[in-house]
Amino acid sequence: MSELSNQNQPGPAKSRRRLFRWLDQRTGLDGVLRESLDEPIPGGARFAYVFGSALLFIFISQVITGVFLALYYVPSADHAHTTVAYITKAVTAGSFLRSIHAYGSSAMVILLLLHVTQTFLYGSYKGRRELLWLSGCVLFAFVLCMAFTGYLLPWDQKAYFASAVGTNIAGEVPFIGAWLKEFMRGGADMGTLTLSRFFVAHVLGVPAAIFAFIALHVYLFRKTGAAGPISENPVSPQLPAEPFYPRQVVVDAVFALSIIVVLALIAHFEPFDLGPSANPADTHYLPRPEWYYIPIFQWLKYWPGSLSFLGVVAIPSIIAFFFASLPFLDRRMERRPWKRPVAVGTYTFIFLALFGLGFLSYHSDHSDPGYAAQLITQQKDTEDFMRKPFEPEVAQSLSSGLAAIPADPLIAKGGQIYQVQSCNACHGDGGVGTAAAPKLTGIGDRMSAAQLTALLKAPTPKMIAGGMSPTDLPGEQMNALVSYLEALK
């Protein structure tokens, strides 16, 4: 507050200032705040600059929702789907939070495209911003990695098959392809080890790297300064600068707030689906990646067999190389898009091509009756699964002595009698024997049913000394018990 307004309210303002000074003397908070909030923006605050901070905001939202999802999620092939179903169907606000997280990943990709397009069109990579651009490219790759690894975690049909396709594509990389695919999968096939690796990448590895590169990216941005509008000199800004706070902060905050409101509304009214559990044996399943990978998915169709290296590896690598080295290739200080036909033209062409590929993919899916029918079936299966209430997973019971229930009901009954009469206490479950009494497996080879029945009714002195008491049961119960014993192997 300025000195003027302080005079009107001396009490609370003064103690606030005293508290602030106490903190500042111990932390240097004032310097940090001034440094971060007084960032000069040549040419003033603009809506066009919101996308970077929006990305950071949504990333933090993803981290928070992700951490909470991890309270219930278990990353193993036998529990992943059940735990995601538990979150979606049982836990309070589970579906809402999961939907925010899943739609948030799409929001990240959209904001990424907006941010890249804006900085590209404005030529904000020029004027000693090469490293800033490169760190941004690395972040771009990391965000796509997060989307790819996160996609597998629910372990439903869609997740499993899309990731199988994705890791197969990794196998196309020359020289190291086969090794890379096995490294990603944790083996030759998709399995629980794949899930563990993707989980560690998604939750531990890549987020840590993202945080590090965000710090680098923001640092480099502040070092070279905001580029400002396209009329501004990229190396030495001429236009009068406006501090980041308050106007840009307000614009950024309003935009971030509106994104979160939109996400919350979508999450509430259109919860993110969970399909039925992954079934690797399903040969009919048509995998489709999430919308942002569809253009690449369509592109791959044009490069079968021996051409696949060209289309899958060579061309994308060349595009990525030119994209990343843009600040090194384009050394002109010119920032106006209409004066940069090559750069802007190429970018526009690729953007429209990706869009066109996406449209072609949609069209081909829906014009082929077989594909269209299968996709409708898959959607219906998902809806059916979502309608069912939560089904807890049945764990292996530790306390049932019978590992397998025999088919013959007489033997099964005999097995139960064996337990009720506490035979298992000394002779062990399934007659395997303990220190207290010998094993009964194979007794059917040594004694007939009649001999065994007689022995049970009148044990030998040795047996009696060991603690065995005569077994006196009615006819059919005796019959059942002896049948069970005779069958023990």
Told to check if 10 binds other proteins by CB under 8 A, we report: no
Q: What CA–CA distance (Å, rounded) separates 234 from 43? A: 12
What DSSP line would sit under 250-273, residue for residue? HHHHHHHHHHHHHHHHHHHHSPPP
Q: Which of 130, 123, 124, 201 is nearest to 166 (CA)?
A: 201
Both tokens of residue 184?
A: 């990603």
Q: Which of 218, 239, 313, 426 binds other proteins (CB under 8 A)?
A: 426
Q: What CA–CA distance (Å, rounded) separates 439 from 429? A: 10
> Which of 330, 429 has the CB closer to other proteins?
429
Beta strands 40-42; 241-243: pairing state: antiparallel
Q: Is the dihedral of CA 155, 159, 165, 166 positive or negative?
A: negative
Are 51 and 111 spatial neighbours (Cβ–Cβ below 8 Å)?
yes
| Residue 197, CA distances (Å) to 80, 152, 180, 219, 379 in order | 13, 11, 13, 31, 28
Show the CA angle centred on residue 104, arms to residues 102 and 109, nearest 5°: 110
Told to check if 464 binds other proteins by CB under 8 A, we report: no
- Segment near other proteins (CB under 8 A), from 310-318, 352-360, 393-401, 481-489? 393-401
- Segment near other proteins (CB under 8 A), from 91-99, 174-182, 192-200, 276-284? 91-99
Q: Which of 7, 27, 76, 93 binds other proteins (CB under 8 A)?
A: 93
- Segment near other proteins (CB under 8 A), from 81-89, 378-386, 439-447, 452-460? 81-89
- Segment near other proteins (CB under 8 A), from 40-48, 208-216, 257-265, 274-282? 257-265
Which residues from 159-218 bind other proteins, rule CB under 8 A? none
3-state secondary structure of 277: strand
Q: Which of 397, 446, 465, 489 binds other proteins (CB under 8 A)?
A: 397
Q: CA 396: distance to chain centroid? A: 28
> Which of 304, 475 has the CB closer to other proteins?
475
Are 300 and 289 spatial neighbours (Cβ–Cβ below 8 Å)?
no
Q: Which of 7, 15, 16, 189 binds other proteins (CB under 8 A)?
A: 16
- Segment near other proteins (CB under 8 A), from 105-113, 155-163, 165-173, 469-477? 469-477
Q: Which of 392, 446, 461, 475 binds other proteins (CB under 8 A)?
A: 392
**Please, what's the b/e burial string for 327-357 (b: 16 or more CB within 10 A of its CB; e: otherwise)?**
beeeeeeebebeebeebbeebeeeeeebeeb
> Which of 236, 469 has the CB closer to other proteins?
469
473 phi and psi angles, rounded to 5 deg: -125, 150
Told to check if 56 binds other proteins by CB under 8 A, we report: no
Q: Which of 7, 27, 38, 128 binds other proteins (CB under 8 A)?
A: 38
Closest approach, Cβ 369 to other proteins, in A, equals 39
> Which of 306, 469 has the CB closer to other proteins?
469
Q: Which of 345, 442, 388 is nearest to 88 (CA)?
A: 388
Q: Which of 45, 55, 91, 452 binds other proteins (CB under 8 A)?
A: 91
- Segment near other proteins (CB under 8 A), from 68-76, 295-303, 333-341, 454-462? 68-76
Does a cis peptide bond (omega within 30 degrees of 0) precede residue 246? yes
> Which of 109, 423 has the CB closer to other proteins?
423
Cβ-Cβ contacts under 8 Å for 297 (sequence gap 6 or more): 165, 288, 289, 361
3-state secondary structure of 280: coil
Told to check if 421 binds other proteins by CB under 8 A, we report: yes
> Which of 442, 467 has the CB closer to other proteins?
467
Q: Which of 191, 316, 466, 467 binds other proteins (CB under 8 A)?
A: 467
Which residues from 215-254 bind other proteins, rule CB under 8 A? 243, 245-246, 249-250, 253
Told to check if 86 binds other proteins by CB under 8 A, we report: yes
Residues paired with residue 242 on neighbouring β-strands, in sequence order: 41
Q: CA 85: distance to chain centroid? A: 14
> Which of 37, 307 has the CB closer to other proteins?
37
Binding site for other proteins (CB under 8 A): 1-6, 13, 16-17, 20-21, 24, 30, 33-34, 37-38, 64, 68, 71-72, 79, 82-83, 85-86, 90-94, 96-97, 243, 245-246, 249-250, 253, 257, 260, 264, 390, 392-400, 416, 419-426, 467, 469, 472, 474
